[in-house]
Amino acid sequence: EVQLVESGGGLVKPGGSLRLSCAASGFTFSSYSVNWVRQAPGEGLEWVSSISSESNYISYADSVKGRFTVSRDNAENAVFLQMNSLRVEDTAVYYCARDGAGDYGFDYWGQGTLVTVSS
């Protein structure tokens, strides 16, 4: 069974840092791109970042570029999102999602982890 489990969320002050993890199981992790998608309270989905299977292609939304860094460890079946210089507007549930359907489709999602940025 394919599973994605996020962890690392919590309460952090503006300007602080947090590292999210996404642990994958049930599939050949090293064959798939993984994305981070966030959802602010009461708002819609916002794509945050993508990392290809071998980490050779990485992209970010403009809203997080220069502050967030995505990485992965295929030996550990995990993807990470290092979030620095956090802002109040980064408050959201962060999901990791596998890009595994055809050419584009996030077919499996984790349950999400809540990041709250507040003083």
Partner 1 sequence: QSVLTQPASVSGSPGQSITISCTGARSDVGSYKYVSWYQQHAGKAPKLLIYDVTLRPSGVSNRFSGSKSANTASLTISGLQAEDEADYYCSSYTLSGVYVFGPGTKVTVL
Which token pair is 7?
A: 């962890």
Q: How far is the CB of 80 from partner 1 (least distance, A)?
A: 19
- Helical H segments across the chain, by residue range: none
The answer to whether 102 contacts partner 1 (rule: CB under 8 A) is yes
Contact flags string 78-97 toward partner 1, x per CB under 8 A = -----------------x-x
The answer to whether 101 contacts partner 1 (rule: CB under 8 A) is yes
* 3-state secondary structure at position 22: strand
The answer to whether 1 contacts partner 1 (rule: CB under 8 A) is no
Q: Are 93 and 112 in contact (CB under 8 A)?
A: yes
Q: How far is the CB of 34 from partner 1 (least distance, A)?
A: 12
CA-to-CA distance for 46 and 12, rounded, in angstroms?
20
Among 110, 113, 115, 117, binds partner 1 (CB under 8 A): 110
The answer to whether 107 contacts partner 1 (rule: CB under 8 A) is yes
Q: Given the complex with partner 1, which of 35 and 72 has the nearer CB atom? A: 35
CA-to-CA distance for 88 and 27, rounded, in angstroms?
35
* 3-state secondary structure at position 90: helix
CA-to-CA distance for 14 and 24, rounded, in angstroms?
30
Q: Residues interacting with partner 1, by CB under 8 A?
A: 35, 37, 44-47, 50, 59-62, 95, 97, 101-107, 109-112
